A and B are shown apart, each in its own frame.
Chain A
């Protein structure tokens, strides 16, 4: 049974393709000795430049094809080509520059392209790395399932706390009302919530446990267990948010960079016509 993914699609069809193309490009670059030195304006420079521009357009088309649900071919094939051709761009575009850089729109386009490809590399890493961790963390549950369970535990905790001293009740109420799962971008990415009221409540309850002055020991033990369960669930939910943000965060850069590259590339190509 052959399970094809975007990495090994059709037995690494696109990896093989770009390896050949890269070898040919490097060979041609090594053999080509233009009289004014290597740069984008030689015949090889134009060939590599046109090839790179064509590849960029093809890669941009992925955003369209992804949403054409009955488009040509399999989407994993498109992604496979997207990744390998994108990686190859680093070579083609670099050779196209002839290592001539400056403070101009041409180098800007190149820089954007390099950033975009590096960002894409992270994307591949994320796609291969985080999905497994998400499942390990969640199992059969969805994030919504966890939130529902947390809400149920909150309800139980509140009923228990009502019969306990006021200070405990206040801590539990605070834990129920103010515990956050997502939070700001930093909290989502790190999964850290240093002032978590649930963690604080568990800590306080544990300390009370050493020194049981009030009655209802059974009620207290139950409450402690409930809060402990909630703390675990909250931790899992936060880890889910964190893993998902790691899985997706690069896309928030990938798409704007792609648009910026398209603009810079258009400027670069238009400018070249003025050199003629």
Chain B
């Protein structure tokens, strides 16, 4: 690192002194350097960007909010900790930033002309303006118990691989704590301590990984547990003794190391000594600032995490803007131009502010969002203008956007889109919410009825919003409940009747395999499957035989309501399932009042009875039922398309794998040999294209998509973070090297001259620079004739079935194969 220091013979004078060389400080200093303004960047530690240097080794650093443009001379995009730091180190030299390391500022005094900064070394620095960019990490929260500063009690973790065969207690249930614990568990005995009863502040991917690790006994966890003290012991085997208070009482844990990850707080005492005021006594409160980031001390500006902007990109933009503000130049927010472009579609909107106000007024769902939240939301959404008759989406499409109506009316068609619409939606209402929940095909067709302005938001954006805003989630849930009921059984009901029917309705979740009710239970209501699927079974000859299965968007449990008898079947969640339960009394009352509803449920009941008594099922159910149960157990209940191999004619030639590899850059995305077998049917390791893909849950670049035909695929924005690999419960996603320079093997070269590998084999090792990205089956969606694996099976052993077909397949197979 090039150190540009000045001789400390006399007090130094600068126009701007920037304290703290994190993202915002570096960005401010780079902008000042770029403009040729005299400046100094003071860093207490021996390296710039100390906080990011302390991230876990190899950590992927996100560039959120994704759509926000970066406005800084310093570069920043999503990447590993190491790559970002290397780039910054280069740029510090490139811009000639006047950086002084090891310069801890102890005092800031306001003088008639600017400020005097006192350093710990005794030197003083004069500056006209001060930008405080010290973040929060200088004030990490400690355990606050006796022994908190003992050696081996640490508040950060750089490289988890440094530790081996230790008992390590990780304190803290946030993402950092969980990530640390997970990374340490491979080589150590890890105990994670969380003072809450759940991991509420944790990303879904981390939570899933944690649950798996706990289930497999790879680590331990104590919930609702507080640390009381840490003592060092003379015992060489366990140098620390940690005392914690659990719900069952005090527990003493002998260990080698305690790693506490409890977050950080503003260094209030220090800031107050600089004359900065806080709006409240809350220790987490940040200083009050003007719109130009100026504190109550004129000339003293605060940016970055300390100003309440914890995200790196926001902080870097602030660093740029604060310099502009100091120079007295007007500067508009970084996203202003983009937002202006979006609002240009509304002719009577002239400014972004006006546009945001319009959205708030027209769409109650978004009314409670803060300015910053709404701007971020708008950046990722689009305004769509439609003419009467334009189709937004069609029934059975696989699209997942969410829509709010800013202006106009849309028609909703449940079955026949050429007939009259079933109902309308008006300005301020929203639709497409089922796409957020079940990942199934669209259940309706939506067309513009008048000239319309819609706000179209990607699924991922909506999910993030519903996760952070409880009010938004509640509003969507309430509307979606009513719509689900309306679509599936209540089209003939009036609005008042519908309200009555859904009152007291409950959402309930079931884990895979959990029994919803047993044969013989009292009937408590009508069940609508919101996501997942349910297997309906009956005891035949002492064995539980699956008779049918109910997929998302359908209902079950009408039989007992109509006959007034206890449950005659057992209902069991085939996969993680969410249902809506309508109270039995209300359904019964509604059936009496509304003959259409009675007719509908009755028809469904008769159809079910007929189906179950039909000769096929009854004759073969005892055995094919078990095949159905097996397939459901393999996750076919949530699949939309699954590869099966009929082992009675599979000659193990591996042509399916070779075809897959030859079609996809040399890496097969299916493994024929692994996967369970039942009755000579193997479910190989290959993507099931789940209705609600687990892999999509936490994809930072939103690279996992579902095509209109239903294939779940990964596009080329994948960054290889591996979240999907962890999240897939069926182990069918892998990280593979992609190397565009690598040539596929030639069939003729191999056949005639024996040169190179056989087609479908490995095309040589990828080059050193090849990056790894996630790959999975995409059902060869770009090939006209369908998946290569099935087309290349010489005997017809490989087949693909949808959930609608697999029941038929099981029955057919029993009758043919015996």
Contact = CB atoms under 8 A, between A and B. Distances in A.
B625 interface: no
Nearest to A128: B649
Nearest to B759: A67
A244 B673 CA distance: 14
Interface stretch (B176-184, B313-321, B545-553, B790-798): B790-798
A9 B795 CA distance: 9
B662 interface: yes
Contacts of B805: 1
A128 B799 CA distance: 17
A2 B305 CA distance: 63
Interface string A234-275: 000000000010010000000000000000000000000000
A235 B324 CA distance: 80
Contacts of A67: 658, 747, 751, 758-760
A216 interface: no
Contacts of A69: 658-659, 662-663, 759-760, 788, 791-792
Contact of A9 (B760, B790, B796): B796
A164 interface: no
A139 interface: yes
B500 interface: no
A11 interface: no
A159 interface: no
Contacts of A132: 647-648, 680
Contact of A135 (B647, B788, B792, B816): B647
Contacts of B663: 69-70
A75 interface: yes
A5 interface: yes
A174 to B, nearest CB: 32
Interface stretch (B191-199, B352-360, B807-815): B807-815
Given A69-B759, A79-B794, A140 B809 contact: no
A74 B811 CA distance: 25
Nearest to A142: B673
Contact of A142 (B674, B747, B791): B674
A142 B654 CA distance: 14
B465 interface: no
A4 B760 contact: no
Interface in B618-665: 646-652, 655, 658-659, 662-663
B794 A76 contact: yes
Contact of B648 (A1, A75, A131): A131
Contact of B794 (A3, A64, A66): A66
A131 B652 contact: yes
Given A3-B812, A64-B751, A140-B676, A127 B651 contact: yes
A128 B797 CA distance: 11
A68 interface: yes
Given A3-B813, A132-B680, A76 B793 contact: yes
Interface in B722-774: 747, 751, 758-760
Contact of B799 (A3, A9, A79, A139): A3
Contacts of B648: 131-132, 135
Interface in A90-146: 127-128, 131-132, 134-135, 139-140, 142
A264 to B, nearest CB: 20
A15 to B, nearest CB: 15
B809 A3 contact: yes
A244 B796 CA distance: 19
A76 B659 CA distance: 14
Interface string A199-243: 000000000000000000000000000000000000000000000
Could you say which of A74, A78, A135, A140 has the most chain B C-beta atoms within 10 Å of its C-beta?
A: A135
A1 B659 contact: no
Could you say which of B682, B794, B813, B816 has the most chain A C-beta atoms within 10 Å of its C-beta?
A: B794
A221 B760 CA distance: 49
B680 A74 contact: no
A84 interface: no
Given A66-B794, A67-B760, A69-B662, A3 B650 contact: no
Could you say which of B651, B662, B747 has the most chain A C-beta atoms within 10 Å of its C-beta?
A: B651
B618 to A, nearest CB: 18
A70 B759 CA distance: 11
Interface string B661-677: 01100000000011011
A6 interface: yes
Given A3-B816, A69-B662, A70-B663, A75 B674 contact: no
A175 B816 CA distance: 45
Contact of B680 (A3, A135, A244, A247): A135
A8 to B, nearest CB: 8
Contacts of B795: 5-6, 76, 79, 127
Contacts of A131: 647-652, 797
B764 to A, nearest CB: 18
A128 B795 CA distance: 9
Nearest to B673: A142
Nearest to B647: A135
Contacts of B680: 132, 135
A116 B674 CA distance: 35
Nearest to A62: B794
Could you say which of B663, B760, B792, B797 has the most chain A C-beta atoms within 10 Å of its C-beta?
A: B792
B791 A1 contact: no
A76 B790 CA distance: 9
A214 B594 CA distance: 86
Interface string A52-77: 00000000000010111110001110
B783 interface: yes
A258 to B, nearest CB: 13
B793 A140 contact: no
A86 B758 CA distance: 26
B652 to A, nearest CB: 7
Contact of B791 (A3, A74, A247): A74
B760 A3 contact: no
A68 B759 CA distance: 8
A1 B809 contact: yes
Contact of A127 (B649, B673, B674, B792): B649
A134 B651 CA distance: 9
B730 to A, nearest CB: 15
A70 B655 CA distance: 12
B498 to A, nearest CB: 39
A9 B796 CA distance: 9
Given A67-B759, A69-B658, A76-B793, A134 B812 contact: no
10 contacts: A6-B794, A6-B795, A67-B747, A75-B791, A76-B793, A76-B794, A127-B649, A131-B649, A135-B648, A142-B673
Given A69-B663, A135-B648, 9 more contacts: A64-B747, A74-B790, A75-B791, A76-B794, A76-B795, A131-B647, A131-B648, A140-B676, A244-B652
Interface of A: 1-6, 9, 64, 66-70, 74-76, 78-79, 127-128, 131-132, 134-135, 139-140, 142, 244, 247
List the 3 closest pairs (A to B, CB-CB), nearest first: A5-B796, A69-B659, A135-B647
